[in-house]
Amino acid sequence: MRQILLFFTCVLSFAAQAQLAPQPPTVAAKSWLLLDAGSGQVLASHNPDTKAEPASLTKLMSAYLVFAALKQKTLKPDQVVPVSTKAWKTGGSRTFIEPDKPVTVEELLNGMIVQSGNDASVALAEAVAGSEEVFAQMMTREAQRLGLKNSSFTNSTGLSDPQHYTTARDLALLAAAIIRDFPEYYTIYSKKEYTYNRITQPNRNRLLWLDPTVDGVKTGHTETAGYCLVASSKRGPRRLISVVMGTSSENVRAQESLKLLNYGFQFFDTVVVYKKGEPVRTERIWKGAQDTVKIGFQEDLVLSLPKGQAEKVKAEVAIKKPMLAPVSQGVQVGTLKLAVDDKPLGEYPLLVLEAVPAAGIFGRTWDSMRLWFQ
């Protein structure tokens, strides 16, 4: 249900935000996006659905599948993983794993995430799926399940391939899913360096040094992809995720990401409009064991609004009438329309918060007569 709420929010509120908020900064990237993780709303974007080479941002999806395997206990952190010749010889950035040297899943995860090791990524892919090819198929299927509509993966590392692509929007949603679904593993992304095989390598995410509120997520670079960065910052209760793709240097991708994050925190607020289980209305219900029913949301209804606009939000409730029992908890019976200064923010499904069974035969008959006269 939360996914439904976020879908309505993202689709319908962006136009109103554009009219109410200051213009976003100019960003020197081929495509970019700023996401409020709490509400799921896109605060600003440019070419967010343009397919692009993700480079090592690919490892976000690789990590998601490894985290899922750990959660399902098909992998264990201390499990020793054999290093294949393919993993050992994989080019690009490396953790420097070796075929004759034992390495654990935990070490490989740190190598893949902090050091961006392609060899570690392949070893983990083989540990999860038996081969990198099968793992890549799993990556694409998982992307579809998560609602990433413009992503396709052919490898676990991000090495260039015509059929290997994603978008700024999909990467933002993927980063949000990692933070939401695997908070116990997300902390790896905040490590500034990692040592394996007596070789210490720094995290390439410069924002970990520039802004103490940034706690991840991942960098990427190839000659054709340019310099890319997915970054996340948590200031107080709010978390924003920025994506920049196709910048000209490490310094530019860091500065443009910071520019986006500062814009979002400075000019927007995240507001809980209705809390989970809080009745929006109490409505008359007919032919039921009780005469009224509470309607509202099964998850917090959270909005990102330009600063100073929260007090101006106006709500309009539309309920399907007459409402007849029996009704189950969670059934949609209406919609809530929100607007600021007559500019629509979105429409959100209103749900029954408590099941109402049917009344006995006398109660149903009596209500049928009353409805007939009405």
Catalytic residues: 56, 59, 116
- Is residue 183 classed exposed, middle or buried when 0-12, 13-18 and 19+ CB atoms within 10 A define those classes? exposed
**Displacement of CA 207 from its chain's centroid (Å):** 20
Tell me the sheet residues that pair with 194: 201
Per DSSP, the three-state class of 42 is: strand
User: At residue 350, what is the residue type?
Assistant: L
| Order of all β-strands in the sheet with 332-340 | 281-284, 292-296, 343-352, 332-340, 313-319
Residue 327 is given by DSSP the state B
Q: Are 306 and 20 a contacting pair, CB within 8 Å?
A: yes
Q: Which two tokens stand for residue 233?
A: 């910052």
**CA proximity to 66, closest of 138, 134, 131, 128:** 128
- Is residue 91 classed exposed, middle or buried when 0-12, 13-18 and 19+ CB atoms within 10 A define those classes? exposed
Q: Are 209 and 198 a contacting pair, CB within 8 Å?
A: no
- The terminus-to-terminus CA distance of the chain in angstroms comes to 34
Residue 195 has, within 13 A of its CA and on its CB side, a CA count of 3
Distance CA 247, CA 372 (A): 67
Phi-psi region of 342 (alpha: psi -120 to 50; beta: other; left: phi over 0): left
